[in-house]
Structure 1
Amino acid sequence: MSNPLITPAPRPEPAATSTTLPDDWRQWVAENRLRGCTPESMLQVLLANDLDRSASEAALVAIERDPSYLAALKFLQLYGKLASVMLNHQRLVQSAPHYERVEKRAHVSRDEFTERYVRGSRPLVLTELARDWPALGRWSPADLKQRFGHAEVEIQSGRQADAQYEQNKLALRRTVRLGDFVDQVVAGGPTNDHYLTANNEVLRRPEFAPLLDDIGSLPDYCDRAQLAARSSFWFGPGGTVTPLHHDTIMLMHTQVVGRKRWRFISPLETPRLYNFNGVFSQVDLDRPDLARYPLFGEATVLDIVLEPGETVFLPLGWWHHVTSLELSLSFSFSNLAVPNEFEYLNPSITNW
């Protein structure tokens, strides 16, 4: 299946002469040819954008013998081999019975957790991990306001006006009093416009240490000494969405108040997820555009609802999309007693 054409954003380029196209359109020709688009379909787009017919036709002929394009074809073959290896392994993995069901278990031993879920790269929900945590009986919006309402926190605000809100999260940072934010969340109802996320770093601040005191026992495959340095606090209304992305470490995420819907896709399916920039997919999992992103139609999505008191384990590199179904307080931690530092060579293509 060929990919749909990508039209570049308009730029103030000189008009095409009778023999040449502007540089950005010549690059567009190369990119779309590498993506398998036909010269005929590309010519239609060029003409629809008022580019000279003879220059357009000449560019489509010239690209087939352009040295840079021919070199790129070789690298495209190498990418294709790697993608096929990943997708063949994924086909084998998902042939297992009940692949699409994320297991919910009360307990697992350290050995089983390490072998079956960490090295075996399988998501897992633990229903009893947080059973003795004081947080489960204490945390609430009112409790946050009473204990920490005077403190300032960093939130994301104005998310709904930015389609790339997570990728542009640094630009959406706002500092507010936590008590005011609690009032805003409680009174405002469901929305994706504001959210206190892991980036707030509040658990590194002494005034929020009591939140860590509310975390009870941890399994023996977690390093308690690293909890303060490797944990995060989340608070927001129902309706908040963390779009499809992958993390660069493994982590556990405990739902304390409210429910969240988690959807997972194996890292072996990365070639189907249009990962052009950073750790993010271009695909909107709630409204996938299969005309623009056709390969996503072949991806297998695992779907669970995380209930209060449950903890999800996120294996390395698994893609996930998270939606708060109601007002939510959550706690995540990555202090696993296994190697948990990894390097990713992420793309930075922002104009596709």
Structure 2
Amino acid sequence: MACGRKVAIYENVSEDEFTQHIYPKRKPALLRGVNIGSCTAKWTVDYLCEKVGGVDVKVHVAENPKMDFLNKNFVYKTLPFSELVKRASSDRHDSYFRSSSELYYLRSLGFDPRGRDVADIRKQFPDLANDIKIPQYFKEEDFFSSVFRIGSSGVQLWTHYDIMDNILIQIRGRKRMILFSPSEALNMYLIGDKSQVIDIDNPDTKLYPKFFEAERHECFMEPGDILFIPALWFHNALALDYGVAVNVFWRHLAYDFYDKKDPYGNKDLIPGSRALQMVENASKLLDTLPEEYRDFYVKRMIATLQNKYLTSK
């Protein structure tokens, strides 16, 4: 597929400039020259291993670099943190689960995610937290999570959207980010919050013809860069090198919209989730009708929604 629109780049932006002029646009923005602390210099392989050591972490292990969450072409394994860092930063491994060239991806968790404990670098990695300065682009009380991410070179994460605004802080390594506007939802072949199109650079023309209509937004991140990803923007990350990053999420809507039993922050907003469930229930009712009637009422439902929400756009 052809290269898409370039994500706007802003240099040396202050927190006030971001919140007043960039954030309200509700578009991805690549921020450079922002002070994020000493982490870009400090977080070498040796330093991370020394500071965190043998703490066990749960990681994705894959042989295929294009990770597919829907079909689970990876396995979850537990490794000491220092062992993960050593393996992720190497192309070949003396110790491995599946093959000597397998790839690794860590998305940090809370101490007890089943108990609604969210990822927070200050809690799970306190010896590293003082090295990173997270820009205050949101009120402290709106903070939801700070997710520590480590990945092997070549790992490509599935395209998905998040319901919260977030910033991706790239600390080590380079990364390509491809994003799609929420307005492209009908072209993304969604199952839940994830796209079925795994190979976004060479998509199957027969399976996913409408995906070619979706406009891509693209940027390349360097160490020290920050990418603002507005809620609902689809994004796909490709690690060009062994990489370390921190993802920070915050609530920008009324708190009662968010599911309180969601430690990952990726469940649909409660009103949206309920509406989608109603659609699922409606489809079951329509299945009981003859085809001619089912087709008729589907069109009536579409017309009702279009008249209410799309006529003014």
Q: TM-score, normalised by structure 2?
A: 0.68
After TM superposition, list the pairs within 5 Å mapping 1:257-268 onto structure 2.
Answer: 257-268=172-183
Counting aligned pairs with the same residue, the percent is: 25
Cα drift, residue 116 of structure 1: 5.0
Residues 116 and 268 of structure 1: CA distance in aligned 2, closer, same or farther (over 3 Å):
farther
Cα drift, residue 330 of structure 1: 0.4
Which of 119, 126, 146 is the matching residue for 1:209? 126
Q: Which has the higher helix share?
A: 1
Cα drift, residue 335 of structure 1: 3.5
The equivalent of 1:282 in structure 2 is: 196
Structure 2 counterpart SS, 1:172? strand
Residues 318 and 230 of structure 1: CA distance in aligned 2, closer, same or farther (over 3 Å):
same
Cα drift, residue 156 of structure 1: 0.9
Which of 79, 86, 94 is the matching residue for 1:176? 79
Alpha-carbon distance in structure 2 between the residues aligned to 1:164 and 1:185: 15
1:308 aligns with 2:211: no
- Is the Cα contact below 8 Å between 1:158 and 1:194 reproduced in 2? yes
Q: Which has the higher strand share?
A: 2
Moved more, 244-253 or 116-125: 116-125
Structure 2 counterpart SS, 1:187? coil
Alpha-carbon distance in structure 2 between the residues aligned to 1:186 and 1:137: 16
The equivalent of 2:27 in structure 1 is: 122
Which of 85, 103, 108 is the matching residue for 2:8? 103
Residues 339 and 258 of structure 1: CA distance in aligned 2, closer, same or farther (over 3 Å):
farther
Which of 163, 184, 196 is the matching residue for 2:106? 196
Structure 1 counterpart SS, 2:149? strand
1:136 aligns with 2:52: no
Q: TM-score, normalised by structure 1?
A: 0.61
Structure 1 counterpart SS, 2:40? helix
Cα drift, residue 112 of structure 1: 5.5
Alpha-carbon distance in structure 2 between the residues aligned to 1:205 and 1:181: 20
Cα drift, residue 123 of structure 1: 0.5
Which one-letter code corresponds to 1:123 in the other structure?
A: P
Structure 2 counterpart SS, 1:183? helix
- Is the Cα contact below 8 Å between 1:247 and 1:318 reproduced in 2? yes
Higher relative contact order, structure no. (Cα contacts within 8 Å, ≥ 6 residues apart): 2
Which of 30, 51, 61 is the matching residue for 1:157? 61
Cα drift, residue 106 of structure 1: 2.1
The runs of at least 4 consecutive aligned structure 1 residues that moved more than 6 Å come to 346-349
Alpha-carbon distance in structure 2 between the residues aligned to 1:103 and 1:157: 33
Which of 262, 269, 276 is the matching residue for 2:184? 269
Matched positions, count: 246
The equivalent of 1:18 in structure 2 is: none
Alpha-carbon distance in structure 1 between the residues aligned to 2:123 and 2:15: 31
Cα drift, residue 101 of structure 1: 2.5
Deviations, residues 25-51 of structure 1 (Å, cap 9, x unaligned): xxxxxxxxxxxxxxxxxxxxxxxxxxx
Cα drift, residue 252 of structure 1: 0.3
Give the unaligned 5+ runs of structure 1. 1-98
Structure 2 counterpart SS, 1:145? helix
Moved more, 198-207 or 237-246: 198-207
1:240 aligns with 2:144: no
Alpha-carbon distance in structure 2 between the residues aligned to 1:259 and 1:194: 16
1:222 aligns with 2:138: yes
Which one-letter code corresponds to 1:184 in the other structure?
A: R
Larger radius of gyration: 1
Residues 192 and 336 of structure 1: CA distance in aligned 2, closer, same or farther (over 3 Å):
farther
The equivalent of 1:21 in structure 2 is: none
Cα drift, residue 144 of structure 1: 1.0
- Is the Cα contact below 8 Å between 2:148 and 2:246 reproduced in 1? yes
